[in-house]
Structure 1
Amino acid sequence: MAGKVTLANTDDIPDLMEMFWEAFSGPGEVMFPHNEAGRKWLQRSFDNFLGQKSYYRPESKVAVVRNVNSKPVALAIAHIVGPGQNITGNSWKTRWSRCDDIPGMSEEKLAEFFEPLAKAHHLVAGKEGHVFIEFVMTKSKSRGRGYASALMEWATKLADDLDIPCYLDAGMRGMGICDRCGFKAQDIEKRYGGPPPCTPMLRSKKQ
């Protein structure tokens, strides 16, 4: 059904990659190049998310909203972080994918993107179990239809069902949705050593 939130499958990966590249066009292409190297890395990363659970990384879930042709037009990448699981530093390499064997991919550029976010994430969430909403994105032609709100509701329900908090890094465009879903901005500037790259937001577990 169009507009309904469902879990993605491996057949959806080409559409998920297209959405990701659209979201990270322009300056984002420095980290996530729109070429065969970037395609290989993204393919392997989505294979990670949609594959078998691993003891070494949080359980990942990719939810989508589909159009009338059953094509994904919005997605959310969320991770169920278990107590004590590592979310700091280079943990992105187990959650996403390593890239040192892919010529044309820069581990340094990926680290410059992921690791400052991980620092803020750790300062807020620590080592407690929580749901981490890493990305919510909608194809440009499908925006304004409530798809991002539906995906946020899906992710926060996941956290409520597990009786754990929910964390995300918010940009200016998504602040309104975050507020409506019960997230509160966290002031970590002093502990972070300056302004974090995004606004860290936490939604407490359901009381």
Structure 2
Amino acid sequence: MSLTLQPVTESDIPSLSELWYKSFSIPINLLMFPNTPGIRAWWNEANGHDLLHNPHRKYLKVVDPVPVPGAVVAYAKWDLDPQHSGARFPEWHAESHRETCDLVFTVLDEEKRTFFGERRFYYLDMLVVDPAYRGRGAAAMLIQWGCELADQEGVPVYLDAHIDAAPMYRRFGFNDREDKVVTSEGAVSMIREPETK
């Protein structure tokens, strides 16, 4: 049986937080979001609120029916209207390193707003893959979902990738922003213009 793409459900939310820490435990992330019960509860609440109450934000998961049926091995958070979907995150948790969170995410959000102005775009907010499933097509399924929808709507797609993941996104037609250098945190902003069939 192969990997399958499905909508995230409310019961999946704790699995998303678990997968985030399994996949993204690099120093800058753990500085901003220490792996504590309080921060995990914050992640669960933030994702759960978006899933249930924000129609612009779409959560998708990839599941592997073997060996654990329904186990989430990858997920993506797509924002289909970033200019009108509200704040990307709720107020930072008390255990977060607020200054670093503000510095990193304020800069990234301002870059998007400045670059697009009033032009509509999609934002691939989050793409997380279990390290054991990298290279098995899970990321491709999640990226392709949003790219195909963006092509149908005729809108570009934007993302901020870790520099190590940039080559994967280039295979889907993303290009580095020529006017933006890699940040000190190793993030590179990329854009994909819609493709016409």
- TM-score range with shorter-chain normalisation? 0.7 to 0.9
> How far is 1:75 from its partner?
0.9
Q: What amino acid does structure 2 have at the position aligned with 1:98?
A: E
Q: What amino acid does structure 2 have at the position aligned with 1:205?
A: P
- What is aligned with 2:91? 98
- Retained in 2: the 8 A contact 1:185–1:199? yes
- What is aligned with 1:121? 112
Select between 1-10 and 130-139 the one with higher mean Cα deviation. Answer: 1-10
Q: What amino acid does structure 2 have at the position aligned with 1:206?
A: E
Shift in CA distance, 104/172, structure 1 to aligned 2, threshold 3 Å: closer
- What is aligned with 1:107? 98
Which residues of structure 2 form unaligned runs of 5+?
Answer: none
Q: Does 1:203 align with 2:183?
A: no
> How far is 1:43 from its partner?
0.9
Cα distance in 1 for partners of 2:2, 2:119 equals: 36
| CA RMSD in angstroms, aligned pairs only | 2.1
Select between 147-156 and 166-175 the one with higher mean Cα deviation. Answer: 166-175
- What is aligned with 1:170? 161
- What is aligned with 2:31? 30
> How far is 1:195 from its partner?
4.5
- What is aligned with 2:14? 14
Q: How does 1:125-204 map to 2 (within 5 A)?
A: 125-189=116-180, 195-196=182-183, 197=185, 198-204=187-193
**Dislocated runs of 4+, deviation >4 Å:** none
1:10-48 per-residue CA deviation (whole Å, 9 max, x = no partner) reads 110111001111223141211111102211210111112
Cα distance in 1 for partners of 2:163, 2:98 equals: 27
- Retained in 2: the 8 A contact 1:44–1:97? no
> How far is 1:2 from its partner?
4.2
Aligned equivalent of 2:60, options 29, 39, 63: 63
Select between 162-171 and 66-75 the one with higher mean Cα deviation. Answer: 162-171
TM-score (norm. length: structure 1): 0.82
- What is aligned with 1:44? 45
- Aligned positions, number: 190
- Retained in 1: the 8 A contact 2:57–2:78? yes
TM-score (norm. length: structure 2): 0.86
> How far is 1:183 from its partner?
1.2
Which residues of structure 1 form unaligned runs of 5+?
Answer: none
- What is aligned with 2:84? 85
Select between 61-70 and 20-29 the one with higher mean Cα deviation. Answer: 20-29
